[in-house]
Amino acid sequence: MSYFRTAVDEMTGYIPGEQPKPGTPITKLNTNENPYPPSPQAIEALRQLDGEWLRRYPDPFAKEFCRAVSEALNVPPDWVIVGNGSDEILNVLIRACAEGGDRKVVYPMPTYVLYQTLAAMQPAAVVEVPYPEDFSLPIKALAEAKGAITFIASPNSPSGHTVALDDLRKLAQQVSGVLVVDEAYVDFAESSALPLVSEFDNVLVLRTLSKGYSLAGLRMGFGIAQPSLLKGLFKIKDSYNIDAIATIVGAAAMRDQAYKNACAEKVKASRAQLTTDLKHLGFTVLDSQANFVLATPPTSPQTNAEQLYLALKARGILVRYFKQPGLEDKLRITIGTDEQNQTLIEALISLLK
């Protein structure tokens, strides 16, 4: 006898990347955090916080943060939904749109594993459409799958590629339900799908403060969509999903676009250098628009990707290894500081010798 719904018994929970205690001497290149600290203005806002803010319930819609998003991205403040990480908004979207029967969840593969986990929880049927080798968007197959909700991560994880705006526009026209463009890594990319939000009432663009803004520990993400789409999501989100601290600190970070952009420029320069260095070692590296690269190590009987992952871990360097079809021969490596990347390269040189 189980205490749980059949769907819960049958699903596999999402397995997050390893999170060693802060202060552990480790080169942590496994969960795509930003290697630079949060904006000094965000830290100052945290220091200034008054106990009174914590005594009272927070604003249910985190309006102060929505105003900051409105100023930074030039969207109306009531086109913004805020979540406890963008993961929470993904959860709300699934609960609002998907269920058994025809209300399917559709996405190209490989992509962010949580889409599958959330669909299994609902439960809702999933249609996974493989990306071709060149990672062009399989628009027709995605549209024909008739998802109640279709997820496209752009830049995608773990490939790092960006989907062209015109392809997303075609998909928005052709899908039956909601199209979510998950832009968790957009701060390191050259293009965004944000313009589609004013063109289509079925498009939601999802952002996070975890990557570009160096605030993964704050847990803050937000979606941008027309109010008619947000209406259904507001009905089911927790009343006070964003705490008072996150609202204030997140708003200060959002208002400091210059700092966020300067850190992103450093990450992009390091990404180019790391890509070159890995290629020199014989890795195949996909062009990335994110703060990580997907790299295939040179094959030899002694070193496959999983063994390299374990050997790096033994040396205190964490990268991400996914034991799933199409990815077993690859490592996803977060872009660290130049010093951290150099530590990785030196370890690889000695391991591949």
104-109, strands of its sheet edge to edge: 80-83, 221-224, 203-208, 178-182, 147-153, 104-109, 126-130
- 138 versus 221: smaller Cβ distance to ligand PMP: 221
- 86 counts as binding ligand PMP under rule CB under 6 A: yes
Which residues are within 8 A (CB) of 65 and not within 5 positions of it... i.e. 6 or more apart? Answer: 80, 82, 220, 222, 242, 246, 247, 250, 251, 254
157-216 residues near ligand PMP, rule: CB under 6 A:
157, 182, 184, 208, 210, 216
**CA dihedral for 13, 208, 61, 253, sign (positive or negative):** positive
352 Cα distance to chain centroid:
31
* Nearest-approach distance from CB 122 to ligand PMP, in angstroms: 18
122 touches ligand PMP (CB under 6 A): no
- Read off the DSSP letter of residue 189: S
Provide the minimum distance between the beta carbon of 288 and ligand PMP in the complex, in angstroms, as a whole number: 13
Residue 241 is a binding residue for ligand PMP (CB under 6 A): no
Does 221 sit near ligand PMP (CB under 6 A)? yes
Is there binding between residue 138 and ligand PMP (CB under 6 A)? no
| CA distances from residue 80 to 74, 115, 301, 310 in whole angstroms, order as listed | 11, 21, 51, 42
Q: Of these, 121, 126, 153, 267, which contacts ligand PMP (CB under 6 A)?
A: 153
Shortest distance, position 221 Cβ to ligand PMP, whole Å: 4
Candidate segments 50-58, 83-91, 123-131, 268-276, binder of ligand PMP by CB under 6 A? 83-91
Q: Looking at beta carbons only, is 64 or 183 nearer to ligand PMP?
A: 183
- Return residues touching ligand PMP (CB under 6 A): 85-87, 112, 153, 157, 182, 184, 208, 210, 216, 221
